[in-house]
Amino acid sequence: MKKYEFFEHASEIKFRAYGRTIERAFENTALAISDILSRGDKVEPAGVKKIEIEGENNESLLYDFIDELIYLLDAEHFIVAKAIVKIQGKKLEAKVFGDDALKYPGMDSIKAATYSEMHVKQNKDGNWEVQIVVDV
């Protein structure tokens, strides 16, 4: 099973992340965000941050999770290398492992996540798929 894949989208990046559980799909979303920001360079998991959010539904949890990843980069210069996500009902808790973004020259940026074309769904085979578009 693929972890994530990218699609062409004008002035934005659209991608899907996959997982056997919803948590794994969110973890792979963090990997895709890291790949976008680092332009494919491997990011070392040198530090850890904690994320706790509540949302109305799975889509709002996804949006807020990505928003937190963007905040960590913009405010704390922290780029995520790996995430461990737990979702219970409308609450998401994550430990994100990453590094100082200033160590990675040529870093790209993500302005924001969008609800455009977003979905979080469980497929017929029981696996999960999330789709998101981010402004770059």
pLDDT score recorded for residue 53? 98
Which phi and psi (to 5°) does residue 103 adopt? -80, -10
Q: Which residues contact 6 (CB under 8 A, 6 or more apart)?
A: 13, 14, 15, 32
Q: Which residues contact 34 (CB under 8 A, 6 or more apart)?
A: 43, 79, 80, 81, 98
Query: pLDDT, tens digit, for every residue of 73-102?
Result: 999 999 999 999 999 999 999 999 999 999
Place of tokens 């999770």: 65
pTM value > 0.75: yes
Which phi and psi (to 5°) does residue 74 adopt? -70, -45
Domain that holds residue 12: 4-135
- Name the packing angle between helices 22-38 and 58-76 (round to 10°): 30
Place of tokens 């609800």: 115
CA-based Rg of the chain, rounded to a whole angstrom?
A: 14
Residue 122's domain is classified under what CATH number?
Answer: 3.55.10.10
pLDDT score recorded for residue 66? 97
pLDDT score recorded for residue 8? 67
Task: Please name which of 107, 24, 30 lies closest in space to residue 15, comparing C-alpha atoms.
Answer: 30
pLDDT score recorded for residue 119? 97
Segment (H or E) for 70: helix 58-76
What is the number of structural domains in the chain? Answer: 1
